[in-house]
Chains A and B, each alone.
Chain A
Amino acid sequence: MTQFEIYSVASVSLFGLGLFGLIALPNILRKILSFNVLGVGIFLFLVATAQRDDPTQPDPVPQAMVLTGIVVAVSVTAFALALLQRLHGETGMTMLDDEKAESDQ
Chain B
Amino acid sequence: MADTLLKLSHLHKDFAVNRSLLQGHRKRFVSAVSDVSFTIERGQTMGLVGESGSGKSTIGRCIIRLINPTSGTIDFDGHDVASLKGRDLFNFRREAQIVFQDPQASLNPRMTIGEVVSEPLVIHRTGTKAERIAAVKGLLETVGLNPEHINRYPHEFSGGQRQRIGIARALALKPKLIVCDEPVSALDVSIQAQVLNLLDSLQAELGLTYLFIAHDLGVVQHISDTVAVMYLGTIVETAPVNLLYSAPRHPYTQSLLSAIPVPDPKVQRTRSRIILRGEVPSPIDPPSGCRFSTRCPVAQARCSQERPDLHEIEPGHFCACHFPSPTTP
Does B associate with A? no
